Amino acid sequence: MSYEVLARKYRPINFDEVVGQDHVVKALVNSIDQEKIHQAYIFSGTRGVGKTTIARILAKCLNCDSDSKPTSNPCNKCSNTMEISAGRSVDFLEIDAASNTQVDKIRDLIETVEYKPAKGRFKIYLIDEVHMLSPASFNALLKTLEEPPAHVVFIFATTNPEKIPKTVQSRCLQLNLKTVNEELLFNHFRKILKHEKIQSDDESLALIANSANGSVRDGLTLLDQAIAHGNGKLSQDQVKALLGTIDDSLLIGLINSVIDGDGVSVFDLLSKIEELSPEYDSILKDIISILHQISLEQVLNNSQDERIKHLASLIDKEFNQLLYEIAMNSFSKFSVHPSPKEALEICLLRMLTFNPLQKLSDDSSSNETNNSEKKTLKKVDNKLDIQKPDLKDNNKSHSIKNNDDWVTLFNSLEMSPFARNYFGNMSLNSFRDNSLILCSSPEINEVPENIISEFKSILQNKFSESISIKIEVGDVLNSPIEEEQNNKKNEKRVAETDINKDKEIQNFINKFNGKIKTDTIKPIK
């Protein structure tokens, strides 16, 4: 006896067995129970979510002999339901639109509509991938679709409902099937394996459920492959090898290195990932998924993975969103790039380039060069017995005595937008003994470690010595950004006053009964 694949063996035979389409099943069951059968249906959705299966169950419900009227729970024992399941019912005509696009085929179909069903209550026409029909074929269907005989029901299945003419859509009851979530797929697969008495672990099932991308049929096909690959059982390592799945720890380490601005480590880890022979677009998809999990953790604090929690604490929210945009932009151009490997590498290089710490690294290199030059000068000065003022002493004269000094200092510093956004909204508490204490409002979340490191490095360059930073929560008064906004308001207010006092402008406005939009007034730079 030939082997029956899981996708066929476990195809649902009634509405109770349908997975993940409760909204569609409920609508159909209610309409059958209330004897409100529509003349035409459109089932739309991606591949493998149950369009044809639900159409066949609906056909069995309408023609089941177990009751004197249509039933929402077909018996699957009478001749009508068994023939529909076997695909040999004369009252259930299943047509593939992809191979019957011509108008002549549809005209032949329409000629059979007037004939009554041979055995069942209804003659049911299922046209699969109906969007493949030609415009002439759709036009030929219109009149029959609008006023079919009482014994006829049309069911259209499609993965692309937008290509169905609006004139056809308006004559049908359209039901959209959703992709099935991973949890439902996981439970469905576990139930099947238990019935088949096949050993498995939860990790391998989770990998298959994830790779199915919401398609029950795709998931069952992968399950068949995994069983064959694992010689009759499922294990995490075997399934990973089959799917080409990358070890999460390598990708976590890669993203961690991107956050640290460590380019050498990033490409070392990429080399290790390449040894597993994955597809390059799969690597980028997994990176996008991890960045998405980090974003959710930062907002909802909902991750159960400690590694994701750790990354979320390290990376700034804005920088994480920037990495996500860079990854998505690179993925959208993957198909047109001549080399997938280069596409992934340039994506990682962009992530490193736009990292705030990358600038720090450049500044540090420059710093080391400057320090070297200072040492050389000092040696020359000693030989010539020339005394020069101590740079550190000079920088100490730039000490911060009050908040105005803090605002002036802040505006003189060059830093990333992320650091400017955090520290620019803080005011000075005190500055003594190389310890800078700032006041932050409760609304500002904890400053990421990489941003604090950046600001410390900038201050060290400014004062030529290490500066510690402490942040206290309190009332922020006259922060640098607040001062900047107030200055802009004052400048605009002065500009508005000048315009209102300008006689020529006012005469012009009065002459033409006009007015000035205040939001367009800008001070002269």
User: Between β-strands 468-473 and 435-440, what pairing exists: parallel, antiparallel or unpaired?
Assistant: parallel
Residue 377 predicted with pLDDT over 60: no
pLDDT digits (tens, 9 = 90+) for 172-218: 999 999 999 999 999 999 999 999 999 999 989 998 998 898 999 99
Q: How confident is the model at residue 388 (pLDDT cuts 50, 70, 90)?
A: very low
pLDDT tens-digit map of 257-291: 999 888 999 999 999 888 877 888 889 999 999 99
Model confidence at 397, pLDDT cuts 50, 70, 90, reads: very low
Query: What are the tokens at 285?
Result: 């998809």
List, for residues 69-104, the tens digit of each pLDDT value: 999 999 999 999 999 999 899 999 999 988 877 788
Expressed in angstroms, the distance from the first to the final Cα of the chain is 87
The CATH number corresponding to 6-176 among 3.30.310.10, 3.40.50.300, 3.40.50.2300, 3.20.20.80 equals 3.40.50.300
Over 60: is that where the pLDDT of 396 sits? no
The β-bridge partners of 453 are: none
Neighbours of 71 (CB within 10 A): 18
The C-alpha torsion from 309 through 323 and 254 to 214, rounded to 10°, is 70
pTM of the model: 0.61
Could you tell me the pLDDT band of residue 393, with boundaries at 50, 70 and 90?
very low
Query: Cα separations (Å) of 128 from 45, 94, 133, 161, 487?
Result: 12, 7, 10, 12, 67
CATH architecture assigned to 251-354: Up-down Bundle (1.20)
Q: What is the sign, positive or negative, of the torsion defined by CA atoms of 48, 52, 55, 60?
A: negative
Crossing angle for the helix pair 280-300 and 317-332, nearest 10 degrees?
150
Residue 360's pLDDT band (boundaries 50, 70, 90)? very low
Collapsed DSSP state (helix, strand, coil) of residue 89: coil
Q: What are the residue ranges spanned by the domains of the chain?
A: 6-176, 182-243, 251-354, 482-520
DSSP bridge pairs for 40 = 154
Instruction: Name the class of domain 182-243.
Output: mainly alpha
Mean pLDDT of the chain: 86
Which two structure tokens, joined as six digits, stand for 401?
Answer: 């005595």
Choose among 297, 317, 315, 313: nearest CA to 305: 297
Give the per-residue pLDDT at 154: 95
Are residues 406 and 400 in contact, defined by beta-carbon separation less than 8 angstroms? yes
CB-based burial label for 375 (10 Å; 0-12, 13-18, 19+): exposed
Half-sphere exposure of 314 (CA within 13 A, CB side): 19
Sign of CA dihedral 87, 89, 90, 95: negative
| Token output for 304 | 């159960």
Task: Give whole-number Cα distances, 112 to 104, 121, 153, in Å.
Answer: 13, 16, 13
